[in-house]
């Protein structure tokens, strides 16, 4: 594996939840990254954020690693979950709650319910 792939592999395996995004969880730099980080922050999920804009090798490397062409990318317990559209759908359907619960990831169920209520 390349250095970027090794670094990505170590990061997704060392953290329960990782979001590869443009910008940071405190200052997203694109609307899609902002949406996913916003959902995770609102739900109180502890997650590692990796700013792909800071390293071109990581920016391309994460696309190769997941075989997924877009950013952001969410990983839970080392497994690729999806990008913005998939995370949005999973949040609204309750699948994201179930994924977190099944993997022992702490989140605020009431906050998740509020997201669904606001989008009903």
User: Which residues make up each annotated binding site for [2Fe-2S] cluster?
Assistant: 30
Cα separation of the two ends of the chain: 44
Q: Detail the residues annotated as belonging to a binding site.
A: 30
Report d(CA 23, CA 107) in Å as an integer: 23
d(CA 13, CA 15): 6
Query: What distances in angstroms separate CA 44 from CA 11, 68, 109, one per listed residue?
Result: 20, 26, 9
3-state secondary structure of 118: helix
Decide: residue 93, CB within 10 A, 0-12 exposed, 13-18 middle, 19+ buried: exposed
């Amino acid at each position: 594996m390349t250095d970027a792939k090794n670094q990505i592999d170590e990061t997704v395996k060392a953290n329960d939840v990782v979001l590869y995004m443009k910008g940071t969880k405190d200052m997203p730099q694109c609307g899609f990254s902002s949406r996913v980080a916003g959902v995770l922050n609102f739900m109180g999920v502890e997650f590692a954020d990796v700013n792909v804009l800071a390293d071109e090798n990581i920016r391309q490397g994460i696309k190769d690693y997941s075989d997924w062409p877009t950013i952001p990318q969410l990983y839970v317990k080392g497994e690729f979950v999806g990008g913005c559209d998939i995370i949005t759908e999973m949040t609204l359907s309750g699948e994201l709650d179930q994924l977190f619960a099944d993997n022992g990831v702490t989140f605020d169920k009431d906050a998740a319910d509020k997201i669904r209520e606001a989008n009903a």
